[in-house]
């Protein structure tokens, strides 16, 4: 995901120690969501496809 400048989410402090495989903060210039195969938003904790939108993203290849 080099199009995202490698920083989409982050985690720090106690939250990192408790859940090192998680994330809590989204970069200010990006929107992120998790969707299913039909493109519908999923609830927190559910697995799916990551979609990222923002000013640092490629528009086309």
Segment 2-42, tens digit of pLDDT: 666 667 888 889 988 998 888 888 888 888 899 999 999 99
Instruction: Work out the average pLDDT over 39-61.
Output: 84
* pLDDT for res 52: 86
50: three-class secondary structure by DSSP:
strand
Between vectors from CA 12 to CA 49 and to CA 32, what angle results, nearest 5°? 25
Residue 60 domain flag: no
pTM (predicted TM-score): 0.65
Task: Count how many domains the chain has.
Answer: 1
Q: How confident is the model at residue 3, as a pLDDT?
A: 63
Instruction: Give pLDDT, residue 40.
Output: 97
**Which residues span the domain enclosing 33?**
2-54
């Amino acid at each position: 995901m080099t199009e995202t400048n490698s920083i989409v989410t982050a985690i720090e402090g106690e939250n990192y120690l408790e859940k090192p495989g998680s994330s809590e903060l989204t970069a200010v210039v990006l929107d992120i969501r998790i969707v299913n195969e039909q493109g519908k938003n999923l609830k927190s904790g559910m697995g799916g496809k990551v979609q990222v939108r923002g000013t640092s993203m490629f528009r086309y290849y």
